[in-house]
Amino acid sequence: MMSDSPHAVEIRKISKFFGGFQALKSVSLTVDHGERIVICGPSGSGKSTLIRCVNRLEEHEEGEIIVDGVALTSNLSHIEEVRREVGMVFQQFNLFPHLTVLENCTLAPIWVRRVPKAEATSRAMALLERVKIPDQANKYPGQLSGGQQQRVAIARALAMNPKIMLFDEPTSALDPEMIAEVLDVMVELATDGMTMLVVTHEMGFARKVADRVVFMDAGEIVEAAPPEEFFANPKSERTKLFLSQILGH
Amino acid sequence: MSALTSLNGVRWIRENLFSSFGNTALTLFGLAVVWLVLVPAIDWALVRAVWSGDSREVCLDPAAGACWPYIEARLGQIVYGFYDKAARWRVDIVFVLGAIGIAWLMLPRLPSKWLVAALLLTVYPIIVFVLLSGGIFGLDVVPTSRWGGLLLTLLVAATGIVTSLPIGIALALARQSDLPVIKWMAIAFIEIVRGVPLITLLFMASNLLPLFLPDGMTADKLVRALVAFSLFSSAYMAEVVRGGLQAIPRGQTEAAHALGLGYWTVTGLIVLPQALRLVIPGIVNTFIGLFKDTTLISIIGFFDLLGVIQSGNADPDWATPNTAFTGYIFVGAVFWAFCFGLSRYAGAVETRLAHADRGQK
Ligand SMILES: Nc1ncnc2c1ncn2[C@@H]1O[C@H](COP(=O)(O)OP(=O)(O)OP(=O)(O)O)[C@@H](O)[C@H]1O
Ligand SMILES: [Mg+2]
């Protein structure tokens, strides 16, 4: 992870509006290279909006976002530069249903990075190996289980060799028995030193790999702390309430 | 063995055709329709029909059915219109080359499909133009006013099919553009063209347009008609394609953008392949409608398949009670064969694509 920029992601006082509704209220967050951040909070608190601003699937109206030294503005070439370095995994997988698993993983390297097809294929196979589904390479996404699809989605993102990975509730759409297989892959990725921003309510995962847990509510970051501290003595009432709700039962 | 099959047959008939009162009634109704329509039709077209002869006399028998010698005598005009007899071989080459190219594309096993498609869309039209109009390489000029029959019908239909899909896709994409100027121009074009009857457009192209064009700028009447026809079909195609574009979930483009793909790659590799596949039935429907709409060019003075038959029906040399009917039945059958073939081929493509990603949600 060599890089000239001091931080992987710098979010400075960004605000985001949907019509009259303010989804993010002057949010700031700095993520270091190799840092693993878990973001949690109640539904509608702005977690997705925040990480979607990092690769500009959402445009922020105020403030600044600098990703690996590149400022996100309306400058299209900057946006594409950032997107090349930032991988994203979605709750709904969003695999391309008309392409095979392998083609899903080689498309972006071939078309964006201009990697020769043979090289892209062998790299994609290695990644499918890493997420433990090399035997599914020539199937179509619709023929796989949810857990397998999400692992393909992770491999697809990794195929671009990103410096930063964003995860938006990657296990929320999965049946319970498949959650572990996806989390295992994510833990491995974290162990390898990937910079990760993960929106999830899997607190076991947060405890295990997060450097910091960020709690959001109503478009604000209420508190951010290392997991031991975050779970043992949350500072704000809102955090306590939220933790009691998701851990309490 | 045969006793068993016939027993199975009886059981099948009872279970499928006479299982209930309603079902029995429908079966009998169906049989009655077949009896009342199909039997007389076959009787007229095949049994009582006159099959050979070289003048109208053979068809004058009051008991006679269809007058097929009339079609035989007119076959040249039906296929070529009033294209010069001595130059008809040029049309034949056009037909044969086109048929080979299309067959090549349709038979799944043959290789180099992209190359053949590219040739069909680039080199072939040039060959067609040179051969049909002549004027170079020592070929006699045959003015477009003499082109007709099946040749003209296929020419207009093929031009419409080949141009309406790309233009329609471009219009549909433009209509979804973030750039207001492009978006509103596309909307205006689509809504205006769709709101005007095709005949009006053809009349404008053939009569009105020359008045507006600056002096010295003329285009052949057939070319003008082809342009009007293409634009009309494109406006319809645009709406069909738009339906497909709207059916693609936003997550697809988001995932593609998140990978760093730009607008054109996302559109060309992710959105369009999925959207077009969804609307194959609508596209084919538009093609079929377009194929039949080609008959409208007879109204602006061209003798397409239908126009040629209509002029032939008025020919006193072949005036018999069954002449016109025979002509219309024949033209109807030709149109039906092309449209049915188109629809069956599209069905096969759909099945093949569905097999390719079977199990897709
Ligand atoms: N495209 C949009 N248009 C209008 N409002 C939106 C849009 N996207 C999000 N919002 C609103 O912004 C707020 C934050 O949404 P966001 O999706 O970031 O929440 P979240 O924390 O990810 O919630 P969840 O846990 O349900 O995914 C919500 O109130 C949501 O209704
Ligand atoms: Mg969310």
Å between A107 CA and nearest CA of chain B: 9
Helix (H) or strand (E) holding B133, with range, is: helix B123-133
The string of DSSP letters for chain A reads: ---SSS-SEEEEEEEEEETTEEEEEEEEEEE-TT-EEEEE-STTSSHHHHHHHHTTSS--SEEEEEETTEE-SS-HHHHHHHHHHEEEE-TT----TTS-HHHHHHHHHHHTS---HHHHHHHHHHHHHHTT-GGGTTS-GGGS-HHHHHHHHHHHHHTT--SEEEEESTTTTS-HHHHHHHHHHHHHHHHTT-EEEEE---HHHHHHH-SEEEEEETTEEEEEE-HHHHHHS--SHHHHHHHHHHHH-
Q: Cα-flanking dihedrals φ and ψ of residue A166, to 5°?
A: -110, 135
Distance A169 CA to ligand 2 centre (A): 7
Report yes or no on B184 lying in a domain: yes
Q: How confident is the model at residue B360 (pLDDT cuts 50, 70, 90)?
A: very low
What value does the mean pLDDT of chain B take?
86
- Select from B252, B253, B259 the residue whose CB has the most chain A CBs within 10 Å, as the one to mutate to test that interface: B259
Are both B22 and B163 inside the same structural domain? no
CB–CB contact A98 B273 (8 Å): yes
The percent of residues in chain B predicted with pLDDT above 70, rounded, is 95
pLDDT in tens, chain A (249 residues): 455 678 899 999 999 999 989 999 999 999 999 999 999 999 999 999 999 999 999 999 999 999 998 999 888 889 999 999 999 999 999 999 999 999 999 999 999 999 999 999 999 999 999 999 899 999 999 999 999 999 999 999 999 999 999 999 999 999 888 899 999 999 999 999 999 999 999 999 999 999 999 999 999 999 999 999 999 988 999 999 999 888 765
Number of domains in chain B: 2
How far is residue B8's CA from residue B97's CA, in Å, rounded to a whole number? Answer: 49
CB–CB contact A108 B252 (8 Å): no
Q: What would the pLDDT profile of B36-74 be if each residue is shown by its tens digit? A: 888 888 888 887 878 887 877 777 878 888 888 888 888
Report yes or no on B237 lying in a domain: yes
Nearest neighbour of A90 by CB, restricted to B255, B269, B356:
B255
Q: In what order do the strands lie in the sheet with A86-89?
A: A86-89, A164-168, A195-199, A36-40, A212-217, A220-225
**Can you tell me which atom of ligand 1 is nearest the CA of A41?**
21
Are both B220 and B263 inside the same structural domain? yes
ipTM of the complex: 0.93
Q: How confident is the model at residue B218 (pLDDT cuts 50, 70, 90)?
A: low
Are both B13 and B74 inside the same structural domain? no
CB–CB contact B260 A95 (8 Å): no
Report yes or no on B108 lying in a domain: no
**Residue A92 contacts B, CB cutoff 8 Å:** yes
Report yes or no on B183 lying in a domain: yes
Å between A76 CA and nearest CA of chain B: 9
Cβ(A222) – ligand 1 distance below 6 Å: no
How far is residue A227's CA from residue A111's CA, in Å, rounded to a whole number? Answer: 40
Are both B176 and B297 inside the same structural domain? yes
- Residue B292's CATH number: 1.10.3720.10
Report yes or no on B253 lying in a domain: yes
Whose Cα sits closest to atom 22 in ligand 1? A48
Are both B148 and B186 inside the same structural domain? yes
How far is residue B40's CA from residue B31's CA, in Å, rounded to a whole number? Answer: 14
What pLDDT, on the 0 to 100 scale, is given for residue A97?
93
Residues of B in CB contact (< 8 Å) with A are 249, 251-252, 254-262, 265, 269-270, 273-274, 277, 356-361
- Joined tokens for residue B153: 């019908």
Are both B257 and B194 inside the same structural domain? yes
Report yes or no on B243 lying in a domain: yes
Nearest neighbour of A80 by CB, restricted to B262, B357, B360:
B262
- Residue of B221, B228, B197 whose CA lies nearest to B302: B221
Residues 125-164 of A with CB under 8 A from B: 140-143, 153, 156-157, 160
Q: How confident is the model at residue B2 (pLDDT cuts 50, 70, 90)?
A: low
Whose Cα sits closest to atom 6 in ligand 1? A18
Report yes or no on B98 lying in a domain: no
Nearest neighbour of A55 by CB, restricted to B258, B273, B356:
B258
| Residue B211 clears pLDDT 80, i.e. is over it | no
Q: Give B324 or B267, the one with higher predicted confidence.
A: B267
Q: What would the pLDDT profile of B270-313 be if each residue is shown by its tens digit? A: 999 999 988 988 898 889 888 889 999 888 888 888 888 888 88
Q: Tally C-beta pairs within 8 A across A and B.
A: 73
CB A155 within 8 A of CB A127: yes
Are both B146 and B40 inside the same structural domain? no
Ligand 2 is an ion; its neighbours by CB within 5 Å are A 48
Nearest neighbour of A97 by CB, restricted to B260, B261, B357:
B357
Are both B38 and B165 inside the same structural domain? no
Cβ(A45) – ligand 1 distance below 6 Å: yes
What pLDDT, on the 0 to 100 scale, is given for residue B361?
38
Are both B212 and B348 inside the same structural domain? yes
Report yes or no on B122 lying in a domain: no
What pLDDT, on the 0 to 100 scale, is given for residue B346?
85
Are both B13 and B78 inside the same structural domain? no
What pLDDT, on the 0 to 100 scale, is given for residue B323?
82
Are both B27 and B175 inside the same structural domain? no
What pLDDT, on the 0 to 100 scale, is given for residue A56?
94
- State which residues form the domain around B315: 66-83+142-360
Are both B198 and B254 inside the same structural domain? yes
**Can you tell me which atom of ligand 1 is nearest the CA of A46?**
18
pTM attached to this predicted model = 0.84
Residue of A nearest to B275 (CA): A98
CB–CB contact B257 A83 (8 Å): yes
Å between B293 CA and nearest CA of chain A: 34
